[in-house]
Amino acid sequence: MSDVKIHNSGTPSAYNKRSNKEKTGVSLGGHRGGVTCLAVPSQIYRPDSLISGGNDGLIKFWSLRTRPEARQSNRRQTMGGRTSRILFSSNEKALGKDTLDVLAGHGGRILCVEVAWHGDRLLSGAADRTVKLWDLASQSGGRCLQTMHGHTSGVTHGRYWGRNTIVSASSDRSIALWDTRSGSSPLFVLRYYNGPISDLYLESRTSFWMTSAGNDGTIGTWDFRMMQTLNGDMDSGKPVTRAHTIRYPLAQMCHANQSSGPVLLGRGVQV
């Protein structure tokens, strides 16, 4: 599969890793103000596709195929639950030939996009402090299912856990857990860090462990089972009346001092 490269112009492109030569005709363009985040859907369910978020507040679904059929696929723009045709200018026609869908609805630049493992749901966070859940499988294409409010600053990370639980992190120094069946308010708010959240790591959809890192140089490990005890059943789907606040993780460590910058997490390799 081709790798993805972002140019300074805000244009993502694919190139051949083996030959290290950029493929002509695979350059993708159309975001105004630059590309801020990328997500690659499962190659099993949505092969040869790419999702990008931009400073223009738009989320774009691209085809990496150069076949004429892919270029002539339906191009849709979705705002909330309504779908309308995109009207391209002559310049946009030249830059956005492989755009399949454009999702609009955020009121600020897109900071994170995350595709569900089955490829039918998309999670996005933006500078407008909201988390949005999108349906990519509907006939209308890109329908916004839910908008969640609770952060007081931009949403920088979004992850899926289980069937109905979403985890988001923000530059407001908090991590929120949401049940998509319980309304637009979070179930839990984790407040431990003295700086913006720099990374989230969930082992799998069934694991009870989550690791988070902050710009203050600290790392915390959280046990979702502890939250289930506080809430009776975190996966109950009951309406949320008040979010529980948790201030200390199960385990913590100091990676570096506060002046070191953001801490990023990665999965270890078993040998």
Q: What per-residue confidence (pLDDT) applies to 3?
A: 46
Instruction: Name the β-bridge partners of 16.
Output: 21
Listed in sequence order, the DSSP H helices in 52-208 are 68-71, 90-95
Q: What per-residue confidence (pLDDT) applies to 126?
A: 97
Longest CA span, the chain: 58
Encoded amino acid at 217, one letter: G
Phi/psi of residue 86, each to 5°? -85, 135
Q: What per-residue confidence (pLDDT) applies to 14?
A: 53
> Rounded to an integer, what distance in angstroms lies between the CA atom of residue 75 and that of residue 98?
9
Residue 64: name the closest of 85, 94, 43 by CA: 43
Please say whether the beta carbons of 65 and 48 come within 8 A. yes
Question: Beta 244-246 vs 188-191: how paired, if at all?
Answer: parallel
Q: What per-residue confidence (pLDDT) applies to 193?
A: 92
> Rounded to an integer, what distance in angstroms lies between the CA atom of residue 142 and that of residue 91?
24
Instruction: Name the β-bridge partners of 37.
Output: 53
Ranges in the chain, pLDDT < 70: 1-27, 66-98, 138-141, 228-241, 256-260, 268-271
Torsion of CA 31, 69, 86, 51, to 10 degrees: -40
6 burial level (CB within 10 Å; 0-12, 13-18, 19+): middle
Question: Beta 49-54 vs 82-85: how paired, if at all?
Answer: unpaired
pLDDT, tens digit, 9 for 90 and up, residues 232-258: 555 555 655 578 899 999 998 887 665
Q: What per-residue confidence (pLDDT) applies to 199?
A: 94
- Going by C-beta distance under 8 Å and a sequence separation of 6 or more, which residues neighbour residue 268? none
Please say whether the beta carbons of 187 and 256 come within 8 A. no
Q: What per-residue confidence (pLDDT) applies to 139?
A: 63
Global pTM?
A: 0.75
Residue 175: name the closest of 208, 217, 222, 218 by CA: 222
> Rounded to an integer, what distance in angstroms lies between the CA atom of residue 197 and that of residue 98?
34
